[in-house]
A = this chain, B = another copy of it.
Amino acid sequence: MIDYSILVKSPLFNGISEEECMTLCSKIHYQVRKFEKDAIVVQGGEEVTNLFVVLSGSVRGEMIDYSGKTVKIEDIEAPRPLAAAFLFGKENKFPVTVTANKKSELLAIPVVEFLKLLQLNTRLLRNYLNNISTRAQFLSQKLHFLSFKTIKEKVAHFLLQQAGDRFHSFELKNTQQQLAELFGVTRPSLARVLGEMQSENLIKIEKKTVTLLDKEGLNSLLENG
């Protein structure tokens, strides 16, 4: 029924042997559901009562906006789990409608059964906790970024974070375009701010190398926020 060699490659079951995985699954109720191309797996807004793991094929998340148009969000290929972050919590509803890209098989484990699994296997529990925690931490960090009002503040925070306790000089690994997207601003605006910060002798940029000339000054940009 289940191809365990695929399942153990999923982030959730990572580090668990195929045998163990099989034993675990034998102890709970689950379903393997098959979907034809373009079949709807779950409707957005529906309550999340199952953990889904894509066993074969691929599905896509689509958000339906208020006017009825669909906007593609992301593809999920085997063996990734689906909406794992929405199994619990106050608003455990699917944020998106999920549709099969092609003929696909999905493992569906009811929440109560998944809870049993988590209590049976420490590695699985750790995997799941790490998964949603990492996600939360990512969101938290991204939010922290956006909490800075001006582009200057965002840049200052980014540079200080990148530099850390290391040297005052380091290599930029992103283009201005990529940084602009990270900050949620336009590329010329970012360039303008970088220029201003150079003429204020806060930083110096040569090709891809950034030098922090005045860490104190960069700090003070953040404090007065």
Contacts and interface: CB of A to CB of B under 8 A. Distances in A.
A56 to B, nearest CB: 28
A133 B130 contact: no
Nearest to A112: B122
A137 B66 contact: no
A132 B134 contact: no
A215 to B, nearest CB: 7
Contact of A129 (B88, B160, B223): B88
A154 to B, nearest CB: 13
Interface residues of A, number: 43
A92 interface: yes
Residue of A87, A139, A184 with most partner-chain B CB within 10 A: A139
A19 interface: no
A219 B66 contact: yes
A4 to B, nearest CB: 22
Nearest to A69: B223
Contacts of A178: none
Contact of A88 (B65, B115, B130, B139): B130
Contacts of A92: 133
A162 interface: no
Given A66-B222, A69-B223, A133-B132, A184 B89 contact: no
Contacts of A135: 136
Contact of A137 (B86, B122, B134): B86
A1 interface: no
Given A89-B133, A118-B118, A223 B125 contact: no
A65 B219 contact: yes
Contacts of A142: 143
Residue of A66, A69, A95, A126 with most partner-chain B CB within 10 A: A66
A118 B223 CA distance: 40
Given A69-B223, A91-B137, 10 more contacts: A65-B222, A67-B223, A85-B140, A86-B133, A88-B130, A88-B134, A89-B134, A90-B134, A119-B125, A143-B143
